[in-house]
Amino acid sequence: MQRRWIKYASLGLCMLTLAACGNNGETTDSGETKDKDGKTTISFTWWGSEVRHEKYIEAIEAFEKENSDIHVDYEYGSWDDYWKKLATKSAAGDLPDVIQMDLQYIAQYGEKNQLADMSEFVGDTIKTDDIKDSIVDTGKLNDKIYGVPASVNSMSMLVNKELADQSGNDLDYENYTFQEFVQNAAAIHDKTGSYGWNDNNDNSTIFEYFVRTKGENLFEYNEEGIPEVGFSEENFVEFMDAIGQLTKDEAMPTAEITSNAKSFDEYPFSMGEAGYMQTWSNQFITYQESAAEGITFDLVKPYDADSGALTYRPGFFYSITETSKNKEAAAKLVDFLVNSEEANTIIGTERGIPANDAIKDQLYESMTDNEKATSDFLDDMAETAGDPSPIPPIGFAEMNTTFKEVYAEITYGTMTPKEAYTTFKEKCEDVISENYE
């Protein structure tokens, strides 16, 4: 009991700020970092909950036991603190060796030469035999691998069937169109007074999926590797027309209602007050756990799923930084976190459904029913999954903020879809112009 108390007391001390734990290393003449015992020292940083911190620390201890010549220093924190600290370290040229990386930032760090091209390690030190090629490719940009995915999810539709069926619902969830979906969402409100469709806060992901059903992407890269707007005005307007009409008819909440929800259990959908929620498959578990008493959901494919629009998306990546003096040791840590049975038994599904199929199969029997449903959903879409979307360009976070703003205006009825298109397209072009020559 005393040893356990010491362990968690130490963990709490580390979490007072963005925590830094481990032995500080010294740099040798060759540029490598060694600790006081002569071990190669690498650093690893991540964001996440306290549960993730505990599991990662235990996995690091297992890695050090298996690799007795390597010592791992580590840092961790909340999402917001993580990116602030990472930006500061990046500006100072002091990035850790291994970093947890998000899809919306991977181009920003990769294109600015802050992430190493991991191609020399992938398939060798870092095994990817049990990860689908389409998932590995999500970390590629201009033929360079900037990250190896740890977990995977996909766009999905969550359904409150008890509520949806009150509308006279006859949707075939294996094969239905966007138009049929919108009509059914409107019918739910007409028949029950509840919302038909509760969107999610990250609403550009819904739009991205919609344009994929039309054979487009948010962005495409030209032959020079410069990103360009990939969606047409016609498809943007069609999407926003539907959002505007649904919110006008009160079949969908305004952006304010969704954005004011401080936790999952505050969404109308979680409270049983909406028929549909289009969101990432890994959030099925969260919404089930956050649902009001007596409310249950089903996990089904989104509309037009067999058009190639449905694709695998990484939960996040492990990246090696360009400034790392110990890239081989860093690659060993990445391989351990992604492929080791021991590490993944410790971490479980905290990161989501593993990208490694063999590891996923290993963990399957210990998964909850909701986790199994999510895993099965990802397996079932394997034959129809399309190619991944191009990596969001540098400055995407700024573009995404503008999308949320014009989307909100559509829900309030204070901007037309064509005005929203012009505003968002111009913002994208301005940000691209600022970041690419």
Give the per-residue pLDDT at 138.
93
Q: Would you say the CATH fold of 154-312+395-435 matches that of 2-150+315-376?
A: yes
φ/ψ of 435, rounded to 5, equals -105, -15
Decide if pLDDT at 310 tops 50. Answer: yes
Residue of 318 and 4 predicted with greater confidence: 318
What are the residue boundaries of the structural domains of the chain, listed by start?
A: 2-150+315-376, 154-312+395-435
Decide if pLDDT at 372 tops 80. Answer: yes
φ/ψ of 418, rounded to 5, equals -70, -40
Decide if pLDDT at 184 tops 70. Answer: yes
Q: What is the mean pLDDT of residues 191-203?
A: 92
Share of the chain above pLDDT 90, in %: 82
Burial class (CB in 10 A: 0-12, 13-18, 19+), 40: buried
CATH says 154-312+395-435 is which class? alpha beta
Residues in contact with 265: Cβ distance below 8 Å, sequence separation at least 6, in sequence order: 271, 290, 291, 292
Decide if pLDDT at 28 tops 90. Answer: no
Share of the chain above pLDDT 70, in %: 91
**pLDDT tens digits, one per residue of 106-121:** 999 999 999 999 999 9
Strand 317-320 to strand 148-149: parallel, antiparallel, or no bridges (unpaired)? antiparallel
Strand 195-197 to strand 151-159: parallel, antiparallel, or no bridges (unpaired)? unpaired
Q: What is the mean pLDDT of residues 265-287?
A: 93
Q: What is the mean pLDDT of residues 82-89?
A: 96
CB 252 within 8 A of CB 243: yes
Q: Return the H-helix or E-strand segment holding 344.
A: helix 341-347
Give the per-residue pLDDT at 23.
52
Average confidence score pLDDT of the chain: 91
In this prediction, residue 19 has a pLDDT band, given cuts at 50, 70 and 90, of: low
pTM: 0.86
Which CATH number, 3.30.1490.20, 3.40.50.300, 3.40.50.2000, 3.40.190.10, labels domain 2-150+315-376? Answer: 3.40.190.10
Q: At 18, is the secondary structure helix, strand, or coil?
A: coil
**pLDDT tens digits, one per residue of 244-255:** 999 999 999 999
Residue the block writes with tokens 């917001």: 80
In this prediction, residue 7 has a pLDDT band, given cuts at 50, 70 and 90, of: very low
Distance CA 16, CA 50 (A): 12
Give the per-residue pLDDT at 258.
85
Decide if pLDDT at 222 tops 90. Answer: yes
Decide if pLDDT at 134 tops 50. Answer: yes
In this prediction, residue 168 has a pLDDT band, given cuts at 50, 70 and 90, of: confident
Distance CA 12, CA 301 (A): 41
**pLDDT tens digits, one per residue of 61-70:** 999 999 999 9
In this prediction, residue 36 has a pLDDT band, given cuts at 50, 70 and 90, of: low
Decide if pLDDT at 102 tops 60. Answer: yes
Q: Give, to the nearest 10 degrees, the angle between helix 417-435 and helix 396-412.
A: 170
Residue of 80 and 302 predicted with greater confidence: 302
Q: What is the mean pLDDT of residues 9-21?
A: 46
Give the per-residue pLDDT at 26.
59
Decide if pLDDT at 87 tops 60. Answer: yes
Residue the block writes with tokens 């990035």: 95
For 84, 139, 413, the CA distances from 145, given in Å and listed in that order, are 24, 6, 43
- Beta carbons within 10 angstroms of residue 343's beta carbon: 22
Q: What is the mean pLDDT of residues 173-185?
A: 96
- What are the start-end ranges of the E strands in 69-186? 70-77, 98-101, 140-141, 144-145, 148-149, 151-159
Query: What one-character-per-residue DSSP string does 245-261 give?
Result: HHHHTTSS--HHHHHT-
